[in-house]
Structure 1
Amino acid sequence: MDFDYFRGNESNSANNNRQNLLSSGWRPFHRDFDLGYFWQIICHDTQELGQKSINLASYYADALARKEYAWWANILNLASDYTRGEWQKFWNYITPEPLMPDHRYKDVLSTETPLVQFVSRNSIPIDYVLNLLQEITVLRVLKLLGRPDIITQYYSERDFYFPVEKFVSWERLDVINTVYAYWSKHDIWLQIDPYDRGRRQYTLMAQQLAPFINKATYDLAVMLSGYQNRVGKVHSQFLIRSFPQEIQSFTDSVQQAVLNQNQLAVVVHGEPGTGKTAWTQAVAKEILVPLGYVIFILDHDAIANFVPPTYLERICIIINEADNLAQDRSSEVAQYNNKTEHILALLDGTLYQSVIDEMGIQIQQRLVILMTCNTTERLDPAMLRKGRVDLMCEFTQRFV
C-alpha cells in the first residue's frame, strides 16, 4: 500500500478545502494581543511563561547560529515554517482564544437538516413529523435572531472567521468543520456540525431560549393521524360565535379555565353532526393559538406513541373520537391496545413529568387536552374520574 499516495491525497484535499473556504468569503482569524489577559498570565502563570519564552529564544538562537549556512541564510531561516510555527504557539499562549460556547448553558435545542423521511407499511412517521417541528422551530429562532456578531470555524490547524456584514443565510455558508456563531445581545450560541450529503446539525445553546421558542412556534399545529402527518396551521371553518348560545357559554368557561389552570382536560360529547370537532378547531384557533399554544391533533395509532415535546411551553392536544381510543378496559376490545393507559397518563401528566431530563430545556409546561366522543358510555370510568377531566359538555343541536 502506497501511504505517501494517501498522504498526498489528504494534503491536496485539505488545501482544496482551505481554498474553498477562502474563495467563499472566510478569512484567517488573527488573535489580538490583550494586555489584561497577558497580565493575568504574568501574575498567575509566571513559571510557564518564563519557560515558553526561553524555549522560543532557544529556537531563534538555534536558527541564527547554524554553522553550515551563511549568515544571510540563517536570517532567512527565521521566516521558515519551523520557526514561525514555534512563534505561533507562543503567540497563541499569550493571547486569548476565540470566543467559544459555554456548554454549561441549560437551554439546548438541536435539529438535523434537511430531514430525511422514512415511510413503510409497518411504520407511521410520527418521529419524522416531531423532528420536522423541531427543525422548523430552530430555523425560525435563527431567523428571529438575525445576523450574529461573530461566525468562526476551525480547520486545518487554523481559525477562520466569516465577515458578518457579508452574511446572507446559513444555507449558503460554507461549512467544512464545526462552525460557531454568537449573538452577544441575547447570549445565544449556534453550533453547526456538517454531515454527509450536505446535511447539518444545528444546535442552539443559551441561558434562556424559551422566549425565542415561544415566538418561533406561534400559530403552529401538528396533525398526527396515520399517513396524514403534517406541520401547519389550524384551520377553523366556523367561528365560536356561530355556535348555539349554550355552547358559547361553555366556551367562556373553558377560556377562563385555560387562563387559570396549568393543566386542563375537556370532554365534549354528542351525536355525529353536532359540531364537536368543529368546536375544538374553533377553540384552538381563536383562544389557544393567540395564547401561544402549539396544537397537536392526535388520532388512532398516534396516541400510543406520542410524548409532548419538552421544549414547548404551551401545548394543546386534541383527541377526536376518544370513545374509540380510551375504551373501557373491562371490555374485550380494549384488551388488545394500550391507548387507554396512554391517554390516562396524558391526563395525569405522569407520562412526561415523572422523569425530568438532566440536559436540555426545562420549563413549566401548560397543557390543554380537548377530547370529543359520540358517547361517554364506552369511555373507561377512570377517564371521567375527578381530577382528570375538568369540564364536560353535551352537544345536542345539529350543527354540521
Structure 2
Amino acid sequence: MDFDYFRGNDGSAENRNRHNLLASGWRPFNRDFNVKYFWEVLWNDTQELTQRSVNLASFYADALGRRDYSWWANILNVASDYTRAEFEKYWNFITPQPLTPDHRYKDVLSTETPIIQFVSRNSIPIDYVLNRLQEITVLRSLEILDRPDIITQYYSERDFYFPPEKFISWERLDVLNTVYAYWSQYDVWLQIDPYDRGRRHYSLMARNLAPLINKATYDLAVMLSGYQSRVGKVQSQYPIRTFPSGIQNFTDTVQQTVLNQNQLAVLVHGEPGTGKTAWTQAVAKEILVPLGYVIFILDHDAITNFVPPTYLERICIIINEADNLAQNRASEVAQYNNKTEHILSLLDGTLYQSVIDEGGIQIQQKLVILLTCNTTERLDPAMLRKGRVDLMCEFIQKYV
C-alpha cells in the first residue's frame, strides 16, 4: 500500500494537517516582545539568558564564517532553517508564552460529546441521561459565554490562534490538538481535546462556575422511568390555582419552607385520581423551576442507581408511587430490593454527602424531594420519622 498517497502531495500528513489549519482560518501565533517580561528574565535568570545569547551569536558567527562558501552564500546561510530554528528557540525564551488555563482552578466541569447511549435489558440508561445532562450543561454554558477573547492551539511545534471575529461555532472549529479558549469577562477557560471519529472532550475551568451553571441549567428537567429517559422541560397541565383551596394553602406552606430550608422532603398521599402527580409537576414548574431547581422525575429502578450531580446547586427529586418503592422492610416483598434504603439515604442526605470530593465543584447544595403514594400504610416506618419527611398532606378530593 502506498502510504504517501494518504499523506498528500507534500509527503507529510503533519504538513497536510497544518495546511488544513491555515485553510480553515487558523493563523500562526507570533510572540510579541514584552519589556516587563524580558526584564524579569534578565533579573531572575541572568546566567541562562547570557548563555543563550552567546550560543545564538555563535550560531550566526558560524553561519557567516564558513570557508566552503562565498561571502554572499554565507549571508544566505544566516536565513537557513538551521539558524532560524535557533533564533526561534531564543525568541521563545525571552518572550511570554501564550495564555493557558490556571489548572489550580477549583471548579471544573467536563463532558464528552456527542454522548453515546448503551442500553441493555439488564441496565437502565441512568449513566447515559446523567452524562447527557452534563453535556447539555456544558454546551449551554458555551452558548451563554458566546465568542471568546482568545482561541489558541499548539500543533507541529507551532502555536496557532483563531481570530475571535471569525469564530462561528465550536463544531466548525478544526481541532487537531488541545485547544484553549478564554473569556476575560467571566474569567472562564475552555479546554478541548479531540478524540477519534470526531468526538471531543470539553472542560470548563474557573474559580467559580456556579453562576454560569445555574444559568445553563435553568428550566431543565430529567425523566427516568424504566428503560425510558428524557432531558427537557417539566410539563404541567394543571396550574396550582386550579387545585382545591386546602391544597393551595398547603402549597403556600411548601413554598415558604423551600425558601427557608436547604433540604426539604414532602409526602402527599391519597387514592388514585386525587391529583398527587399533577400537583408535584405544578409545584416543580411554578415554584421550583423559577428558583433555579433542576427537576428529576424518577420511577422504578432509576431510584436505585441515582446520585444527585454535585455540580448542580439546586435539585428537586420527584418520586411517584413511593409506597411501591419504599415498602416496609419487615414485609417479605421488601426483602428483595434495596430501594427503601436508597430513598432513606436521599432523605437523610448521607448517600452523597458522607464523603467530600477533593476535586470538582464544591457547593452548598439545596435539595427538595417530592414523594407521592396511595397509602402510607405500606411505607417503611423509618420514612415517616421526624427529620426525614418534613411536610405531609392527604389528597381527598377526586381531581384528575
Q: TM-score, normalised by structure 2?
A: 0.98
* C-alpha deviation, 1:134, in angstroms: 0.5
Q: Find the residue that maps to 2:394 and give its secondary structure.
A: strand
Q: Find the residue that maps to 1:229 and give its secondary structure.
A: strand
* C-alpha deviation, 1:247, in angstroms: 0.5
Matched to 2:161, the amino acid is: Y
**Separation of aligned partners in 1, 2:186 and 2:154:** 24
Task: Name 1:311's counterpart in structure 2.
Answer: 311
Task: Name 2:252's counterpart in structure 1.
Answer: 252
**Matched ranges for 1:167-246 at <5 A:** 167-246=167-246
Task: Name 1:389's counterpart in structure 2.
Answer: 389
**Separation of aligned partners in 2, 1:224 and 1:11:** 53
**Separation of aligned partners in 1, 2:10 and 2:257:** 64
1:363-386 per-residue CA deviation (whole Å, 9 max, x = no partner) reads 000000000000011111111010
Say if 2:125 and 2:228, in contact at 8 Å, map to a contact too.
no
Task: Name 1:277's counterpart in structure 2.
Answer: 277
Say if 2:219 and 2:292, in contact at 8 Å, map to a contact too.
yes
* C-alpha deviation, 1:11, in angstroms: 6.0
Q: Find the residue that maps to 2:181 and give its secondary structure.
A: strand
Task: Name 2:346's counterpart in structure 1.
Answer: 346
Task: Name 1:357's counterpart in structure 2.
Answer: 357
* C-alpha deviation, 1:118, in angstroms: 1.1
Task: Name 2:83's counterpart in structure 1.
Answer: 83
**Matched ranges for 1:45-194 at <5 A:** 45-194=45-194
Say if 2:194 and 2:201, in contact at 8 Å, map to a contact too.
yes
1:232-274 per-residue CA deviation (whole Å, 9 max, x = no partner) reads 1010010101111111111011000000000000000000010
Matched to 1:143, the amino acid is: E
* C-alpha deviation, 1:358, in angstroms: 0.8
Q: Indicate the percent of aligned positions where both proteins have the same amino acid.
A: 82
**Separation of aligned partners in 2, 1:11 and 1:53:** 35
* C-alpha deviation, 1:309, in angstroms: 0.3
**Separation of aligned partners in 2, 1:242 and 1:5:** 71
Matched to 2:75, the amino acid is: I
**Separation of aligned partners in 2, 1:92 and 1:200:** 30
**Separation of aligned partners in 1, 2:19 and 2:262:** 55
Task: Name 2:41's counterpart in structure 1.
Answer: 41
Task: Name 1:24's counterpart in structure 2.
Answer: 24
1:32-54 per-residue CA deviation (whole Å, 9 max, x = no partner) reads 00000000111111111000001
Alignment pair present for 1:268 and 2:258? no
* C-alpha deviation, 1:8, in angstroms: 10
Matched to 2:292, the amino acid is: G
Give the unaligned 5+ runs of structure 1. Answer: none
Matched to 1:194, the amino acid is: P
**Separation of aligned partners in 2, 1:11 and 1:337:** 63
**Separation of aligned partners in 1, 2:356 and 2:151:** 33
* C-alpha deviation, 1:66, in angstroms: 1.2
**Separation of aligned partners in 2, 1:241 and 1:125:** 36
**Separation of aligned partners in 2, 1:69 and 1:121:** 78
Give the unaligned 5+ runs of structure 2. Answer: none
Q: TM-score, normalised by structure 1?
A: 0.98
**Separation of aligned partners in 1, 2:5 and 2:142:** 43
1:165-191 per-residue CA deviation (whole Å, 9 max, x = no partner) reads 000000100111110000011110000
**Separation of aligned partners in 2, 1:324 and 1:270:** 14
**Separation of aligned partners in 2, 1:240 and 1:5:** 68
| Distance 1:5-1:281 versus aligned 2 partners, 3 A rule | closer
**Separation of aligned partners in 1, 2:323 and 2:125:** 24
**Separation of aligned partners in 1, 2:266 and 2:24:** 56
CA RMSD of aligned residues (A): 1.8
Say if 2:275 and 2:395, in contact at 8 Å, map to a contact too.
yes
Task: Name 1:369's counterpart in structure 2.
Answer: 369
Matched to 2:296, the amino acid is: F
| Distance 1:381-1:101 versus aligned 2 partners, 3 A rule | same
**Separation of aligned partners in 2, 1:72 and 1:226:** 81
* C-alpha deviation, 1:226, in angstroms: 1.3
| Distance 1:133-1:6 versus aligned 2 partners, 3 A rule | closer
* C-alpha deviation, 1:10, in angstroms: 11
* C-alpha deviation, 1:7, in angstroms: 10
* C-alpha deviation, 1:67, in angstroms: 1.3
| Distance 1:189-1:46 versus aligned 2 partners, 3 A rule | same
Matched to 1:65, the amino acid is: G
1:84-114 per-residue CA deviation (whole Å, 9 max, x = no partner) reads 0000000000000000000000110001111
Matched to 2:156, the amino acid is: S
Alignment pair present for 1:294 and 2:294? yes
* C-alpha deviation, 1:230, in angstroms: 0.5
**Separation of aligned partners in 1, 2:225 and 2:357:** 28
**Separation of aligned partners in 2, 1:235 and 1:19:** 50
Matched to 1:236, the amino acid is: S
Q: Find the residue that maps to 2:241 and give its secondary structure.
A: helix
1:343-365 per-residue CA deviation (whole Å, 9 max, x = no partner) reads 00000001111111111111000
**Separation of aligned partners in 1, 2:98 and 2:234:** 45
1:37-88 per-residue CA deviation (whole Å, 9 max, x = no partner) reads 0001111111110000011011111111111111111111111111000000
1:187-228 per-residue CA deviation (whole Å, 9 max, x = no partner) reads 100000000111000100001110010011000000011122
Say if 2:274 and 2:397, in contact at 8 Å, map to a contact too.
yes
* C-alpha deviation, 1:117, in angstroms: 0.9
